[in-house]
Structure 1
Amino acid sequence: MSRQLFALFLGLLLTFMASAQDKLPFNTEEITRFDEPWSMAFLPDGRMLVTEKKGRLLIVSQQGEKSLVGGAPDVDYGGQGGLGDVALHPDFANNKLVYLSYAEAGVGGVRGAAVARGTLVEEGRRAQLQNLQVIWRQYPKVLGYGHYGHRILFDNDKYLWISSGDRQKFTPAQDMQSSMGKVLRLYDDGSVPKDNPFVNYRQENPFVDGEAIYQQIWSLGHRNPLGMAFDLNGKLWVIEMGPAGGDELNLIKRAANYGYPEVSNGKHYDGRPIPDHDTEPQFAAPAISWTPVISPADMIVYRGNLFADWRGDALVAGLTSQGIVHIKFDGERATEAARYAMGARIRKVTEGPDGALWVLEDERAQSEGRLLKLTPKRR
């Protein structure tokens, strides 16, 4: 390509990108960049904890200044695995507890998701996570590098919710003696609440044995649940990647079975069909299903006032869709309202203390993932 043609092409591309940015309802400001960022959570003073898949945990100011936190767990990095989600205990202001999810190596090449918690201590030359303790492990550990899920979320009653992917093994999502392909509900120390729906499952199924994994389960039949959020009425919504087609947004109900791999609105990657949800009404059907897929990576429900028209709506980070998907709720129903093209794979959307949106891009080819701050455009 001649220099003249290249210059013309570049000019047209920049014009197109500027036009696309003009159509967005927010201003976009780059704050800093990371090496494979995965998640973030705001500290009470407005700084952020940010995870990178290769195992680094960082404290980041809103101006982009970074400092490394020591004491993070050893992670099994590879494929979709590594350091994952980060969340603060609801009483963080008093107990300084930080929760991390990650891929953990086992014996003989197997691996699985885990959740650990430690106390954030900011004394001396750098911050440290002290007294790190594993409070949950995905069971069983298996071969492979995909579908860990491992989003973590606290509710208003301080229960800990964990999304656990099927690890690309299909059938464990229906196995009550496996925590794969499930949404789990625990106390903050990893113990099981006595009012979980399957606590008495063994009494009703006397031939079941194992490690009583069923007691952790709130719902089952999930594939790769990567986003969890409570709406303003306290309903739990989970968004998950489908196979070839059939990404799902599900309203999570106690003891409900969402059908995977028995049903899906997608099909297997090799082209083999999977029965649709409407063929098996005993399984809970999604509120929204996407084909072509959006490849959801995370979800929040917006609670602020800065984007006043969006209060109570969901915002979904899209990977292959390279943008943010805006969803509106109406009781137990949900509809896609808009998509905002970001020109990059979006890994995480978080609401900041003042209602601004903070966005982590997934790792770009040949470059680092950016941290962006989004604020409304003036009308």
Structure 2
Amino acid sequence: MRRFAVLAFALLPTGALALETEQGAVSVSAIVSGLDQPWGVAETPDGALLITQRGGQLILVQDGQARQVRGTPRVAAQGQGGLLDITLARDFAESRTLFLTYSKPQGGGSGTALAAAELSADGTRLENLRDLFESAPGGTTGRHFGSRVVEASDGTLFVTIGDRGDRPSAQDRSNHNGAIVRVNRDGSVPADNPFLGQDGIQPHIWSYGHRNPQGAGLDGRGTLWTAEHGARGGDEVNRVRKGANFGWPVISYGVHYSGATIGQGQSQEGMEQPAFYWDPSMAPSGLMIYQGGMFPEWQGDMFVGSLKFSYISRLAIDGITARELEQIEGDETLRVRDIVEAPDGSILFISVGNGAVYRMTR
């Protein structure tokens, strides 16, 4: 029998603190603290927060109370694995459907999986939990699960998957490692996926040659962008293109942790260049492209959290490239794991370092 512990959190409707940006000060308020390795956050239309914890718990925060939601999948909480991202379906208000990514136990290892479920009307449990996709094969390490899930404008689902610490596998399309996969809402393969029907290639693959994309989001035109970890240097922002090869581990703007050159340098014909890269590495996790009305001066800008240097990077998108405009930082931005736009145009972000979720407002 699985046991569900009574968890203690601090709900913090305290006075807002000022965080300086190039557009002036914004207000940042802690909503909940005391979280244990929070990974993903989403806000429902009625103002409840759903927060994943890597250990396997899904937390609902509403009306001044926090509780654990029952019925989550069994996870392999090893290394970087566990219960990872959460995204609400566009029709959540009617369907109550949400999507979760997690590291699923697989024989002697684990693989990135995508699940769907419906949140019960009272918010206490998940119903009709089912897997839509799992990587095949996964891996035996506890590294590089990727694991963001994004619902595209056509209703298909993008899931990012890391190379699992097996670098060459990111160029091997017979597995899902180092790929962004695309599936329909029922888990089937879309008819317009680029490699569907090609022998020896996993039909779910949309793009490949990724190292460990832990940030993903759509721009106003519905284009998918990712933020992914490099090795030593070379953390990338990529504008994802159907069927494209993003080069890992053949090309990179970083080097191995030993200092050795990666692959064949920084470019090769047939492999995509990053839209932007950081050197030194800032360890990106969580990506959002702002579309709301609360901060009109930020519309169309990209926000990426830094796990290493503890700031939020704001970038401008210039066609197929991006450039960093500023680094927003304060005591609240300690190891930013996720960043999302809330329904009212405010910005939610997770600080792993503080074990907290914050809301940024005007």
Q: TM-score, structure 2 length as denominator? A: 0.90
Corresponding residue for residue 73 of structure 2: 73
User: Corresponding residue for 2:210?
Assistant: 222
- In the alignment, the residues of structure 2 paired with residue 88 and residue 370 of structure 1 have an alpha-carbon distance, to the nearest angstrom, of 20
Q: Give the CA deviation at 1:20.
A: 9.4
Cα distance, 1:200 vs structure 2: 2.9
Three-state SS of the structure 1 residue aligned to 2:169 is helix
Q: 1:54 and 1:342 mapped to 2: Cα distance? A: 27
- TM-fit CA distance, 1:233: 2.0
CA distance in 1, matches of 2:95, 2:146: 27
Structure 1 equivalent of residue 186 of structure 2: 189
Do the aligned residues in 2 keep the contact of 1:266 with 1:276 (CA within 8 Å)?
no
CA displacement 1:34-60 (0-9 Å, x = unmatched): 111100111111211111111111111
Deviations 1:140-194, CA, capped at 9 Å, x for gaps? 1211111000100101110111001100110111111110100111101111011
In the alignment, structure 1 residue 165 sits paired with structure 2 residue 155 = no
User: Which of these residues, 273, 292, 296, is aligned with residue 285 of structure 1?
Assistant: 273
CA apart distance, 1:201: 1.6
Q: Secondary structure at the match of 1:25?
A: strand
Unmatched tracts of structure 1, length 5 or more: 1-18, 203-207
User: Alpha-carbon deviation of 1:276?
Assistant: 6.2
- Cα distance, 1:171–1:154 mapped onto 2, change above 3 Å: same
Corresponding residue to 1:354 among 323, 328, 344: 344
* Alignment-mate amino acid for residue 95 of structure 1: S
What CA distance in whole angstroms lies between the structure 1 residues aligned with 2:316 and 2:147? Answer: 25
1:299 Cα offset (Å): 0.2
1:195-234 superposed matches below 5 A: 195-202=192-199, 208=200, 213=202, 215-234=203-222
Q: Does 1:297 align with 2:294?
A: no
Q: Indicate the SS of the match to 1:325.
A: strand
Query: Counterpart amino acid of 2:97?
Result: L
Distance 2:312 2:169 in 1: 31
Q: What residue ranges of structure 2 are gaps of 5+ in the alignment?
A: 1-16
The structure whose residues are more often helix, as a share, is 1
Q: Deviations over 1:107-128 (max 9, x none)?
A: 23x11111111121134xx611
Match of 1:54? 55
Cα contact 1:324–1:342 (8 A) shared by 2: no
Give CA-to-partner distance per residue, 1:185-234, whole Å, 9 cap, x none.
110111101111101322xxxxx3xxx52x11111100000111111122
Match of residue 332 from structure 1: 320
Cα distance change on mapping 1:279 and 1:43 into 2, 3 Å = closer
Rounded to whole Å, the distance in 2 between the matches of 1:116 and 1:233 is 26
**Are 1:311 and 2:299 matched, yes or no?**
yes
Query: Quick one: distance in 1 between partners of 2:18 and 2:222?
Result: 35
Conservation of the 8 A alpha-carbon contact between 2:87 and 2:150:
yes
Deviation at 1:278, TM superposition (A): 4.2
- Asked which structure has the greater CA Rg, the reply is 1
Q: Is the 8 A contact 1:231 1:312 kept in 2?
A: yes
Q: Which residue of 2 aligns with 1:12?
A: none
Counterpart of 1:150 in 2: which secondary structure?
Answer: coil
The separation in 2 between residues aligned to 1:277 and 1:233, in whole angstroms, is 32
Structure 1 position 137 matched with structure 2 position 125? no
Q: Is structure 2 residue 98 aligned with structure 1 residue 98?
A: yes
Letter in 2 for 1:50: I
Deviations 1:48-105 (A, max 9, x none): 11111111111113x6521221101111112111100011222222222121111111
* Corresponding residue of 1:83: 83
Moved more, 343-352 or 301-310: 343-352
Q: Which amino acid aligns with 2:230?
A: G
Q: Percent identity?
A: 35
In 2, Cα distance between equivalents of 1:114 and 1:300: 22
Assess, with a 3 A threshold, how the Cα gap between structure 1 residues 64 and 183 changes in structure 2: closer, same or farther: farther
Q: Which runs of 4+ in 1 moved over 4 A?
A: 19-24, 275-278
- When residues 302 and 277 of structure 1 are mapped into structure 2, their CA distance, relative to the original with a 3 A threshold, is farther
- In structure 2, C-alpha distance between the alignment counterparts of 1:223 and 1:167, rounded to whole Å: 8
Q: Give the secondary-structure state (helix, strand or coil) at the position aligned to 2:147.
A: strand
Evaluate the alpha carbon distance shift between residue 358 and residue 20 of structure 1 in structure 2; reply closer, same or farther with a 3 A threshold: closer
Give 2:42's aligned residue: 41
Indicate the SS of the match to 1:149. coil
> Which amino acid is the alignment partner of residue 200 of structure 1?
G
Matched position secondary structure for 1:172: helix
